[in-house]
Every structure is written in C-alpha cells, then in structure tokens.
Copies of this chain bind each other. A is one copy, B any other.
Amino acid sequence: MSTHAVADPVPQEALAELRHLLGERFSTGASVLEQHSHDESWHHPQAPHAVVWPETSDEVASIVQICSRHAMPVIPFGTGTSLEGQVVATAGGVSIDMMRMNRILRVSPEDLDATVEAGVTRKQLNEHLRDQGLFFPVDPGADASIGGMTATRASGTNAVRYGTMREVVLALKVVTPDGRIVETARRSRKSAAGYDLTRLFVGSEGTLGVITEITVRLFGIPEAISAATVSFPDIGSAVDAVIVTIQSGLQMARIELLDELQIEAINAYSGLENPVAPTLFLEFHGTTDGVGEQAERMGEICRDFGGSDFVWVTRQEDRNRLWQARHDAAWAAKALRPGCAMWPTDVCVPISRLAECIAATKEDLETTHIPAPIAGHVGDSNFHLVFLIDPDDPAELAEAERLNTRLVRRALAMDGTCTGEHGVGLGKMAFLEEEHGGAVDLMRQMKQALDPGNIMNPGKIFAM
C-alpha cells in the first residue's frame, strides 16, 4: 500500500515534540503507518507521518496543542472500521489511535447510563454490562469503538427502537482543535441549556475535535426476546410488509432485510441453510405477553404479503447465531468474490418511497456484472449495497461509481439522504453538496470558527 502523498516536508519538529511527549507510544514504523492509512472501504490508502497512543484526555490535549502550533493534521483513529475513508490521512499528519483509552469509567444502573473512554468497543461495553441486566443497543456491523461510532453517528439493527448515536449519546468530553478539554453536557436525560454541543460533535467525523469520553444511555435487557426469519417471494413484498408494520405502530426492536444474493452469501459464509429468497430478520422485545402479541401481529402482516418459512427462535444462543449471520453480512458478501475489495454504500429515504427506491436499484443492478448484495435496516428505511470490485481494475471502479451515483441521486430525488449511517468521509463529499445546497456553507462557517487552522481531519465531509 502507498504512503502519504503530501508534498510538504516532513514536520520534523512537531514529530520530535510528540516523540518526547509519548515515548514508546509514538511510532513512525512502516507497518504501523500502513495500518493507519486506510479503513475497511475501497478508498485509496494514505498514511500519516506518525501514530500516537494517548492514555488520557490530558495527553490528547497536549498532542493537539503540539499539532495546532505546527499546523499539523490530526486524525482520530479507533478500530479503523469506517466505510467512507474517514481515517485516511489524506494530508499526512498524526493519527491519534484511541484504543489505549479503553476504560469503562462509570456505570449507573439506576440512571441507565455509562461513561466510557473513546476506545471502548461496543462489545466490550456489552460484556461488561451483561451481569447487570443492561445493554447498549447501537450495533454497526463491526465491533467499532464507541468514540468512532459517535464521530460517525453510527446506527445499526436496533435503531428502529432504541435510536442511533444521535439519540443515545448524553454527553461528551472533547478536545477542541486548540487543545482545550470541554464537556458538552451534564448527565441529565433532558436539557434546554444552550446550544446542543453534544449533537454538534456526534457525526462530525473528527473534523471538529477529538472525542475522548462518551456518556451513553443504556437499556434494560428485556424480559422476553423473540427473533425470527421470514422469506418472501420477491423483494417488493418484503418491503411492503415492513412498511405496513412500521405504519401500524408495531414496536419492532429489529427489522432487517437481506436480498437473495446476500442470503446466498451468508449461507455460504456461516454454513446456514436459509431459503435463497428476500428475507426479513425480525426481533421483538418486551414482556412475555407483549412479545407474543407483537409476534402474532407481525406474522399476520408477513403472511398477507406472501411471507413463508418462518423460523422463530427465543433461546439466546439461537438468537445470537441468527444475528451474528446478519452482522457478518459484509464479510459474507466479500467472500462471494475472493480477492475483491468492498465498496459499501448506504442511503436512507422516507419509508413511503422505500419499495420504489429498492426496486429501481435492483433494476439497475441487473445491468451490471458487479455483484452487489443488498442488506438494510429497513425499519428506518435505510439500506446498503456492497459493490464487490476488483480494486485494480479502473473499469470496475468507474462502474461502481456510476451505480453509486445513480443510487444516491435516486435517494435524494425521493427527499432522502446520501448516507443513513456510514457518514460522508471521502466517499460522499460531492453528494453532500447536492443534498444540502447552501446549508453546507453553514457547516463550513462552524468548522472555520472552531478549527480555523483546519488541522482536524482535513479534507473530510466537505472541502474548505
């Protein structure tokens, strides 16, 4: 893989100061730089000049102060599992690897909240919580860091019931681009005290500061959980069943769609035998009676739309297997074409347009030889494609770009968004302007105000 392409001379003085500050927790080793040059997407890797591993917010502040003085780019780095090139060091600089800040600082079962350092992963937090009967619901496919999930406004399969990072983050500790440590809010569930600084940083993709601590809402593990898979004769019927479910007010915990290609992929990858057909993965949370009632109603709706081959599971072990298969969807897709690179993309539309949007997208995919399974959090009207491409074939890159552009423009024409949960990073920058028009100038004004030197993850979300 390539290293950074910055023409500037190597910022030796800044690097020396960082090395002095961090000792062995500073590195310019080739393999370390390579690891921090890319995320899990197809975007062209570009390495930072150095990587540092702070252990406290104070150290992060010192690092940012040094970088600020030397006008050196700062790229916050978690598990490296972003999907739009968010951690690629397009202008060199320092990657701040947050994974040594992985302490769970506080859990309050009474208040149903916890404070964690940015490097704590979602699975680590849930392991820690399990014995207390609590869980943290946001679950992107990867076992991402909660700092990274905050920065990209991550979402997942539970969002239809429990919300995304936008809803579950209560407060943040942040290092600002000038190296101050700031807390965005108190721990109360509601507040009307001033501008919503918390939501300002949720989804800012490292461009406004480094998130070092996150206070999140937790939820009680429900008394009863029931999950199911249901097959449909065609994707339109599956989507129509989802729309009726959401509109009827049935409170699903999860409602996920996989198309027949994605089912084929997970069957092969996870040794499963799901019927190869568009399939909904469902889950209900509540009391025993409540879950029974919801499941029965949902069953009726699915049958109305031709749903069949219901498989119900309630034991935790069986449910885990079912959802692991769903979470592995991207890896399973990748395995469909050995040696390929993934170009994942996602859009989100008003649910009244979801069936039409997916149908038009499927039609589009019939015109290409590039495999592109569909999976989606359809309860939120958010769905994903993964283009499986040969990264060394310019024609395939161009073809994926063409299909992606058509997908995004289709979603925008339906009053949807260019990304429901992956964020903008490098991959959706052009579309951000199409989506927001003049509002991107407001974003620029805010960026300019908070980071006048443009050191924080420069070149992401929008050009300055």
A interface with B by C-beta (< 8 Å) = 108-113, 152-155, 159, 163-164, 166-167, 176, 180-197, 199-200, 202-204, 208, 219-220, 222-223, 243, 246-249, 286-287, 289-290, 293, 348-352, 380-382, 411-412, 415-424, 428, 431-432, 435-440, 442-443, 445-446, 448-450, 461-462
A86 to chain B, nearest CB (A): 11
- Known interface pairs A220-B249, A351-B110, A449-B446. Does A155 touch B416 (Cβ–Cβ under 8 Å)? no
Cβ-closest chain B residue relative to A377: B190
Q: Which of B110, B163, B349, B416 contacts A247 (CB under 8 A)?
A: B110
- The CA-CA distance from A191 to B440 in the complex, in Å, is 15
**Complex copy number for this chain:** 2
- The CA-CA distance from A295 to B418 in the complex, in Å, is 43
- The CA-CA distance from A351 to B182 in the complex, in Å, is 24
> Contact: B196 with A424, CB < 8 Å?
no
Cβ-closest chain B residue relative to A289: B293
A237 to chain B, nearest CB (A): 17
> Contact: A350 with B108, CB < 8 Å?
yes
A159 partner residues in chain B, CB cutoff 8 A: 190
- The CA-CA distance from A265 to B349 in the complex, in Å, is 48
A147 to chain B, nearest CB (A): 15
Q: Can you list 15 residue pairs at the A/B interface with Cβ under 8 Å?
A: A112-B247, A155-B192, A166-B199, A185-B436, A186-B417, A188-B350, A188-B416, A190-B382, A190-B417, A190-B421, A192-B420, A195-B443, A220-B249, A286-B290, A289-B293
> Contact: A442 with B182, CB < 8 Å?
yes
A404 to chain B, nearest CB (A): 15
> Contact: B189 with A381, CB < 8 Å?
yes
A443 partner residues in chain B, CB cutoff 8 A: 194-195, 197
- The CA-CA distance from A76 to B382 in the complex, in Å, is 36
- The CA-CA distance from A247 to B166 in the complex, in Å, is 22
Q: Which of B187, B192, B203 contacts A424 (CB under 8 A)?
A: B192
A181 to chain B, nearest CB (A): 8
A440 partner residues in chain B, CB cutoff 8 A: 194
A324 to chain B, nearest CB (A): 24
Q: Which of B182, B194, B289, B348 contacts A189 (CB under 8 A)?
A: B348
- The CA-CA distance from A290 to B285 in the complex, in Å, is 13
A152 partner residues in chain B, CB cutoff 8 A: 192
A183 partner residues in chain B, CB cutoff 8 A: 436-437, 439
- The CA-CA distance from A446 to B159 in the complex, in Å, is 30
- The CA-CA distance from A412 to B185 in the complex, in Å, is 11
- The CA-CA distance from A287 to B290 in the complex, in Å, is 9
- The CA-CA distance from A382 to B108 in the complex, in Å, is 18
> Contact: B352 with A415, CB < 8 Å?
no
A449 to chain B, nearest CB (A): 3
A191 to chain B, nearest CB (A): 4
> Contact: A204 with B193, CB < 8 Å?
no
A435 to chain B, nearest CB (A): 6
- The CA-CA distance from A315 to B214 in the complex, in Å, is 44
A219 partner residues in chain B, CB cutoff 8 A: 249
Q: Which of B113, B194, B208, B290 contacts A293 (CB under 8 A)?
A: B290
- The CA-CA distance from A446 to B421 in the complex, in Å, is 25
Q: Which of B204, B243, B348, B446 contacts A110 (CB under 8 A)?
A: B243
> Contact: A194 with B424, CB < 8 Å?
yes
- The CA-CA distance from A421 to B411 in the complex, in Å, is 35
- The CA-CA distance from A418 to B445 in the complex, in Å, is 29
> Contact: A421 with B192, CB < 8 Å?
yes
> Contact: B189 with A110, CB < 8 Å?
no
A53 to chain B, nearest CB (A): 26
A437 to chain B, nearest CB (A): 7
> Contact: B350 with A442, CB < 8 Å?
no
A445 to chain B, nearest CB (A): 5
A381 partner residues in chain B, CB cutoff 8 A: 188-190
Between A199, A411, A431, the greatest number of chain B beta carbons within 10 A of the residue's beta carbon is seen for A199
> Contact: B445 with A188, CB < 8 Å?
no
- The CA-CA distance from A183 to B436 in the complex, in Å, is 7
A163 partner residues in chain B, CB cutoff 8 A: 167
